[in-house]
Structure 1
């Protein structure tokens, strides 16, 4: 009995120390944190394209498509890590549920699967961990911490488990605001709850709907209310006349390829190979906001780790000092960033660029593992901050990249509900739609 009390207190102490529920790397020696479901067949060592699967899995498919966590420890020394799963409500605030209410196993698991990098100039340990099955659909945060000090959290990573208990339909079109029809995209949707009606007491109030663009939690619309309740059909329609369901179209993401450093990959100007490190210079960029939209394929901001020579990106890919250069006149009182999923879309010192008058533009260096990366440029410090249809955009990407309503973007719809007398939100509906997808 005493042992179980100690275990319970141990878990509560860790949960209490989780200060945030965002995608965040706290330890600077942790890099390339990937979390994705294993979908379909894989080749030996895993398929690089698997990482393009976002951290979301259907409740009934967890056994067939489990979530796989991968990350690197750049200390190049073995460290003992443990993981814990925290349940959150629709707004990513920790719920009051106890571990036993949403987990099948003890919620504090060691991460024991690791490999050492092979033939890389920057040595590292590569860790893998399979996320255990969960009982409830909803929002979760995977917390990884130092086994020797449970208060030393290394990183946190969001993921979702969903159940399709309601039906969702969505359509994307150019904005109905005449002034923004060439720049914005509008999401109209409908939710059918006929199969779920026994759990619904007030249809217009019971559902929380979230729309997300390009898998980015910094590009979401929340607090949506139905504009029409068709009680006989058990259908809720969301066609907001205040344009809250409108997103800036953005632009196709820029990309570069560093899967090999023996030659220049796509959009890499040159590669400097030295004994202690390799430096890759991404093709010099310029603003695109003042030029016509150009169509090309991208990963919608995501990236893939791979190593062309060995085919093993997990342990064969090296860390490259990647140099970004943006030629633009100096912007007073403004910070410029090279932004992408590789930094969880965060704007911080890691991806900030500095103005260099000798080149007439901004430049920055970021250590990135070999692969194919999507990115764009974002700025902060503009007054007033850019807002659009209820979205407060922490970084202004319009200034450098432009907004075009023709841009290919993927949208997701999440539907949450809290059952009568329940203590937490559940994710009961999920739908994805790709606007402008190339055939």
Structure 2
């Protein structure tokens, strides 16, 4: 009787074994630090770094305003020990030469003490969060989270911006030319005034970058000014030719998976026969030849939400199935958005079914509202091949101005401006 009880107890423990808690970091397969938004293990999901946890806000804060919060899930049933550290980077996201004490106000290692277990979810997970510490210098930063005391056992990296407004901006409006170029692009014309800072050689020591909708993958880097006015201390940026304009793109596709009992917009079916559930997004098609259609979106972001329960700890992960009807194209097709940090990899690459003439992809996502688009990686086709591009599209842009002074010899973010195009 005693041995029978022990056997049943061991069998019960084996039946609820969580995802194995093993690191992919080893001598034969080491983790390599990447200065980008990246999850180094498949169990690390839903990485969010925003001011006060707001889903649609960029990871940018003014020097002295410490309101950035990191959140992520670990799809394992047991709590782990994680630490975080900050890395200061130059304008091109290479590690700067600064030492920790140059930009930190305290020791550069922070335990993630805040965590919460999921409750009655199909996949058990632990939700972690951390309020980021303050820094002394503006610039580009990468937050690195690692396991235990092993700084090489990295689990995630996430970029963020800290700016000190030492320059001012003047927006000069749009000067879009005629023809098809005007129908596809959005133009940003602005002037940077550096009256309050002594810059001897702005063409060498100042770097300007522009990004669209929080995307790091297609941002314009090291943008050169059209005119330099030394006496007025002004740098003027006017973009007349197509190569220096941003594609307007299209409003984002979206789906509402905040409820699994009553699925929302663009969710065709939720199959509850297995756990985690399988959600099928309504079949999509190309929008390249369609006229522009106006509606509100999250500019590619996502928002975690659960309308089935009041507490977010009950929020489930779901296998989301995407379907795109199209003949095969010469290139790789991906479903992408803020939910996968705009990375194009095997997890979001679509497979082609020649019998049904469709592309399909299956991505594990947490319940919520998601924006997404289909991107093409090809030598002959543009990335927006399936989406189309329009100058009327509502987007927002961030203009980043970096300056490398004599001391410290690192790029500092001395100007930050958000511009909304076609704001609703």
TM over 0.5: yes
| Alignment partner, residue 44 of structure 2 | 30
Query: In 2, are the aligned partners of 1:165 and 1:195 still within 8 Å (CA)?
Result: yes
In the TM superposition, what are the counterparts of 1:299-338 in structure 2 within 5 Å? 299-313=298-312, 315-331=313-329, 333-338=330-335
Which sections of structure 2, spanning at least 5 residues, go unmatched?
A: 1-29
Query: In 2, are the aligned partners of 1:174 and 1:182 still within 8 Å (CA)?
Result: no
Q: Distance in 2 between matches of 1:171 and 1:255?
A: 33
Q: Distance in 2 between matches of 1:328 and 1:18?
A: 37
> Any idea what the Cα deviations from partners look like across 1:72-125, whole Å, max 9, x if unmatched?
000222111111110001110000100001011110111111110012111100
Q: Secondary structure, in 3 states, of the residue corresponding to 1:345?
A: coil
Q: Distance in 1 between matches of 2:260 and 2:407?
A: 58
| Alignment partner, residue 59 of structure 2 | 55
> Which residue of 403, 407, 411 corresponds with 1:417?
403
Q: Distance in 1 between matches of 2:175 and 2:253?
A: 23
> Which residue of 400, 403, 415 corresponds with 2:389?
403
Which sections of structure 1, spanning at least 5 residues, go unmatched?
A: 1-15, 39-47, 387-395
> Which residue of 365, 368, 375 corresponds with 1:368?
365
Q: Secondary structure, in 3 states, of the residue corresponding to 2:64?
A: helix
Residue 189 of structure 1 and its aligned partner are, at CA, apart by 1.1
| Alignment partner, residue 42 of structure 1 | none
> Any idea what the Cα deviations from partners look like across 1:401-423, whole Å, max 9, x if unmatched?
01111111101100000112421
Change in Cα spacing, 1:140 to 1:177, as seen in structure 2 (3 Å) is: farther
| Alignment partner, residue 351 of structure 1 | 348
Q: Distance in 1 between matches of 2:346 and 2:147?
A: 24
Query: In 1, are the aligned partners of 2:331 and 2:379 still within 8 Å (CA)?
Result: no
Q: Distance in 1 between matches of 2:260 and 2:233?
A: 57
Query: In 2, are the aligned partners of 1:117 and 1:125 still within 8 Å (CA)?
Result: yes
Residue 349 of structure 1 and its aligned partner are, at CA, apart by 0.9
| Alignment partner, residue 295 of structure 1 | 294
Residue 291 of structure 1 and its aligned partner are, at CA, apart by 1.1
| Alignment partner, residue 263 of structure 1 | 262
Q: TM-score by structure 1 length?
A: 0.86
Q: Secondary structure, in 3 states, of the residue corresponding to 1:205?
A: helix
Residue 53 of structure 1 and its aligned partner are, at CA, apart by 1.8
Residue 172 of structure 1 and its aligned partner are, at CA, apart by 5.4
Q: Distance in 2 between matches of 1:429 and 1:23?
A: 22
Residue 20 of structure 1 and its aligned partner are, at CA, apart by 1.6
Q: Secondary structure, in 3 states, of the residue corresponding to 2:188?
A: strand
Query: In 2, are the aligned partners of 1:174 and 1:181 still within 8 Å (CA)?
Result: no
In the TM superposition, what are the counterparts of 1:33-432 in structure 2 within 5 Å? 33-38=47-52, 50-62=54-66, 66-171=67-172, 173=174, 175-176=176-177, 178-196=179-197, 199-313=198-312, 315-331=313-329, 333-380=330-377, 382-384=378-380, 386=382, 396-397=383-384, 399-432=385-418
Q: TM-score by structure 2 length?
A: 0.89
Q: Distance in 1 between matches of 2:161 and 2:170?
A: 20
> Any idea what the Cα deviations from partners look like across 1:251-295, whole Å, max 9, x if unmatched?
000000100010121110111113522111111100000111111
Q: Secondary structure, in 3 states, of the residue corresponding to 1:51?
A: coil
Change in Cα spacing, 1:272 to 1:172, as seen in structure 2 (3 Å) is: farther
